[in-house]
Chain A
């Protein structure tokens, strides 16, 4: 049993894919809407929205990433430049140190040279000149040394400087001593000192300075190497980040390009679907026109045949039956179209009430069984017990699906059988109905096509068997709405099998039945056309169409109730307020005042009896609106007789309905009545006098009063007669006035005579 679950799952999956690719987003017209499956349409739309959303997310994330990378690039560049600037200023500083060391070396060197020159000069004046130069070099040395000390804060440099300064001061003191010897003309001693002390000290100073210079040079080289390294790192970083950014940009560009391409493709696809829908629409219109014309031809033809020639009663009866059958067929057609549009608009309501599969099937059998047997087919319902006795579902819609399936099966089967099988599948809690026939069957492509609106197996089917191809579409959609599914397997030439599987959510443990036990007869249709309720009472009909007036008069008078007909809402209000009706049948659309306004007004004025709305408008919103203004029930036109009688019987409490009788005062009021009768001659005197004087005002006033009082005191004849007088008096019409006044006098006389007796 569960094997077919699996295979059906596959089939279902396949057709969903088809639907998704088919579902267009554009509603071209009412008819185009039909070809789409609203559910998959919504799913597809959601899907598309998701896609759009994800693509925009990808693009925005990609662009933000590129932006981030660019910011990184700029950061790295700025960092590198700042770092290099720092290193360059460092190098400049080091360069200064080096030049200071050079200056110190130069000064020390020059000083030594000047010392040697002093030692070699004989003229003391020349010697003094050189001495000044010698001193000057000392200043140069000290300045350069101070600059070096100031300029470089590095510990190493400071240490080297201290070492060199020590050596320099030692050298300087030895040189000074040599200079002193020279100035004292002790040249020989000076020479000796220069050779023994000054030159070695000078060598020390010079080598110290060379050392310092070498160290500074090394430091400078290090600094340059650092810059190079720094530049190298930045170079790699920038290259890598740049490459990533470019790659990302390329990816996004490709993505956007692809996305655009798919969008274009989708638009083209939608266009194709729209064209397809348009074709379906044309096909539908052509088909529909044929479908509507056929029954209409029968209706018009047979009506004319009844009107035209004198045919015998049996013949006439047959014609009328044909007319009725075709009319019903047309009605079914219109109901199907309405159902489809309701399903498409998402307005179809599915109920969830107690459903008895056995009584549903019994009803189906009573409706289609006869059709099958008329055609000579074997028709039966096979129960595979146990099945649930009741479950929550929509019995009306379930019946609709089954009748649809059976009608199809009967239509396409020439001989053999149509069998409904019902069983319960425990493994997945599914209640399964199958309708199998031994009819013409169809091939695989056709079984996939038939569930789409307006599709039949092929166009020759339409020509041969008729039909709009709406039934299965509706059935499948209804099944889906009822948490079930409808599928078909068929073999050309051997027959078809349709199976409806309803998923039951509830726990059914208690409700299983194990044998056939006919359920209660569905209480919704206790009447049929042969079972006319016996009613008594007054019914007011407000209806503008003379045909419908005639029809409803026939329907109502069969029940024994009396019917008063008015043509519009205004008259309905007037009559409803001035007379006692047990029930008002109110058409919704009428000239002058519509049914809704009339009902509103009647309810506001204190009319509490039932009002039944008649309307060709079957929409739930209209019903709700009608209920809101005080309508008790609703009968859809064309009138379903069973439903009509059921509503009438519900709202007219049968014979107990109070007859339209004027108020008859009880014994306690006899006094009042007597007083009224006693006052009558005087009033008539007033009226007669006024008539001879042609005093319209008094005639009008007296007749108005009598009209109001007559019926109230139990004399409706006076009211009727006075009303006639009153109408003429108000409009000042003399014609007929005298007759009516005389008639009123007669009525009054009659009452007076009776009273006297």
Chain B
């Protein structure tokens, strides 16, 4: 993982953002931006066009699923991953239908994030 991936993290809790950042930076990613709510996340996605977006579901203004739905209407080359405490199958299915490329359940291990990055890598090549 020599390439630096440009990553956007959207979570309303600062601790969670910090933790995810601390988890993925050693794995070869640069966290370009962080968003506290769905609206901000969407704005940042459009303006900075990151490679990977980690989205929490439970966020103010717009949920992670809302953001996915909005992204689907735009032609973006972004790899969206849901990071959520809700692991019910309905949530997973909805996220996948809305175009999520990965689903990480909180609490997560570094390994899970690693797997997601591997998937991203294999789809890029």
Contact = CB atoms under 8 A, between A and B. Distances in A.
B68 to A, nearest CB: 13
Interface in A536-584: 570, 573-574, 577-578, 580
Interface string A587-613: 000000100000001001111110000
A607 B115 contact: yes
A570 B90 CA distance: 9
Contacts of B106: 707-709, 711-712
B107 A573 contact: no
A721 to B, nearest CB: 13
Contacts of A180: none
B80 to A, nearest CB: 11
B72 to A, nearest CB: 15
Contacts of A574: 87-89, 92, 105
Given A661-B109, A712-B108, A606 B102 contact: yes
Contact of A662 (B88, B103, B107): B107
B104 A675 contact: no
Given A577-B92, A707-B85, A606 B116 contact: yes
B78 to A, nearest CB: 15
Contacts of B85: 704-705, 707-708
Contact of B58 (A604, A662, A704, A719): A704
B111 A580 contact: yes
A713 B19 contact: yes
Contacts of B105: 574, 577-578
A308 interface: no
Contact of B89 (A573, A606, A704): A573
A668 interface: yes
B88 to A, nearest CB: 7
B119 A663 contact: no
B: interface residue count bin: 35 or more
Interface string A695-715: 000000000110111111100
B118 A711 contact: no
Given A676-B15, A719-B107, A593 B89 contact: yes
B58 A672 contact: no
B109 A675 contact: no
A711 B85 CA distance: 11
B40 to A, nearest CB: 19
A658 B111 contact: yes
B107 A663 contact: yes
A669 interface: yes
A605 B92 contact: yes
Contacts of B88: 574
Given A663-B110, A675-B18, A719-B107, A606 B115 contact: yes
Nearest to A708: B106
A10 interface: no
Given A675-B15, A708-B85, A709-B19, A601 B92 contact: yes
B63 to A, nearest CB: 13
Nearest to A714: B107
B87 A708 contact: no
Contacts of A668: 22
B62 interface: no
Contacts of A716: 107
A708 B105 CA distance: 8
B15 A679 contact: yes
Contacts of A124: none
Contacts of B119: 606, 608
Contacts of A416: none
Contacts of B93: 601
A711 B103 contact: no
A580 B106 CA distance: 12
Nearest to A665: B22
A608 B118 contact: yes
Interface in B68-124: 81, 84-85, 87-89, 92-93, 95-96, 100-112, 115-116, 118-119
B30 interface: no
Contact of A669 (B19, B84, B103): B19
A50 to B, nearest CB: 55
Contacts of A719: 107
B13 interface: yes
Contact of B13 (A570, A609, A709): A709
A605 B19 contact: no
Nearest to A609: B115
Interface string A257-275: 0000000000000000000
Nearest to B117: A606
Contacts of B101: 604, 606
Interface string A359-384: 00000000000000000000000000
A601 B92 CA distance: 8
A672 B15 contact: yes
Contacts of A676: 15, 19
Nearest to A605: B103
B23 interface: yes
Interface of B: 13, 15-16, 18-19, 22-23, 58, 81, 84-85, 87-89, 92-93, 95-96, 100-112, 115-116, 118-119
10 contacts: A574-B87, A601-B89, A665-B19, A665-B22, A672-B15, A672-B19, A704-B85, A707-B107, A711-B107, A713-B107
Interface of A: 570, 573-574, 577-578, 580, 593, 601, 604-609, 658, 661-663, 665, 668-669, 672, 675-676, 679, 704-705, 707-713, 716, 719
Interchain residue pairs A-B with the least CB separation, the first 8: A711-B107, A708-B106, A606-B102, A605-B103, A578-B105, A708-B85, A712-B107, A570-B89
Given A665-B22, A704-B58, 12 more contacts: A574-B89, A577-B87, A601-B96, A606-B104, A607-B115, A663-B23, A663-B107, A672-B22, A705-B13, A705-B85, A707-B85, A716-B107
